[in-house]
Amino acid sequence: MTAASPSSNAVLVTGSSQGIGYAIALGLQAAGVGVVFHGHEARPASIPAGSSFIEANLLVPDAPGSLVAAAFREQPSLDRLVCNAGSFFDVPFLEMGAEQWDRTLQLNVRATYFVVQAFARELVARGRSGAILIVSSTNGFQSEDDSTAYDTSKGALVMMTRSLAHSLARHQIRVNGIAPGLIQTPLTAAWLSGKDPAARRHYEKKILLGRIGEPADCAGPAVFLLSAAAGYITGQVIVVDGGLTVGQVGKM
């Protein structure tokens, strides 16, 4: 990990070494929030100089608590959290084994739950209010081919957002979420590159705004939901999909 100067407002962003988490972290930095970046491998060169970075594999059972403790050592003023870490391990349903299923639920659901718990315990112990953002997916509302474990995990995160908002309101800790649609990230890049141009055009037509999203498209909603401007909002999930899930058929 790398120390940074403490900030009056600070946030831990899990899974922020690339993709959506990285874009959200940069957006929060631009808004003046001190950011603790996190990844499961060594610090990448793209992390801004002077920023805190913690390496932790959230598939390890005690990693959520250890990560949060380390983040508070880096930035004692932490009052915000983004739970973005997650991945996709699916195979076709009839081929799905317990290992892939457990890995999906352990990373996407269990780790998120216990990162939030450890973070909330710290805030309560310090008598501090705060805000939490959980990154789910439009897969939490609409299913997809050969995505049963992932879809299930993202649906769980949608309800987790609402349930934790309920549980933490008494402590003045807000919990909201975003549900990105089809976003160009390292996770989707291989899948998208394997599609023929006609398939990509199909997706672009299905999206009302006519393009596949970029990670930066998720930063604005995240910054808003973690800001004082959203101080009376909790338990909500903003869909960030360019209109992908609005229409039934899309443009012809």
Name the DSSP letter for residue 5: -
Domain 10-183+215-240 in this protein, CATH class: alpha beta
Q: What is the DSSP string of 102-143?
A: HHHHIIIIIHHHHHHHHHHHHHHHTT--EEEEEE--GGGTS-
- 208 C-beta neighbours (distance < 10 Å), count: 14
Average pLDDT on 21-35 reads 98
Per the model's pLDDT, the better-predicted residue between 16 and 196 turns out to be 16
Amino acid at 140: G
Contacts of 29 (CB under 8 A, 6+ apart): 35, 48, 51
Report the C-alpha gap between 47 and 237 in whole angstroms.
28
pLDDT confidence tier of residue 4, bands split at 50, 70 and 90: low
Report the C-alpha gap between 93 and 102 in whole angstroms.
14
Contacts of 219 (CB under 8 A, 6+ apart): 23, 24, 26, 27, 28
Check if the beta carbon of residue 143 is closer than 8 Å to that of residue 245: no
Residue 82 backbone phi and psi in degrees, to 5:
-120, 120
Residue 84 pLDDT > 70? yes
Average pLDDT on 7-30 reads 94
Check if the beta carbon of residue 84 is closer than 8 Å to that of residue 111: no
pLDDT at 3: 47
Name the DSSP letter for residue 33: -
Residue 8 pLDDT > 90? no
150 is catalytic: yes
Average pLDDT on 214-230 reads 98
Report the C-alpha gap between 152 and 245 in whole angstroms.
18
Three-state DSSP class for 87?
coil
139: left (phi over 0), alpha (psi -120 to 50) or beta: alpha
Average pLDDT on 103-114 reads 98
Report the C-alpha gap between 214 and 146 in whole angstroms.
24
pLDDT confidence tier of residue 201, bands split at 50, 70 and 90: confident
Check if the beta carbon of residue 154 is closer than 8 Å to that of residue 108: yes
Per the model's pLDDT, the better-predicted residue between 88 and 200 turns out to be 88
Name the DSSP letter for residue 233: -
pLDDT confidence tier of residue 195, bands split at 50, 70 and 90: low
- Longest alpha-carbon distance in the chain: 56
Which of 113, 150, 203, 232 does the annotation list as catalytic? 150
% of the chain residues with pLDDT over 90: 86
239: left (phi over 0), alpha (psi -120 to 50) or beta: beta
pLDDT at 203: 85
Q: Which of 181, 180, 159, 55 is nearest to 112 (CA)?
A: 159
For the chain, give the mean pLDDT: 94
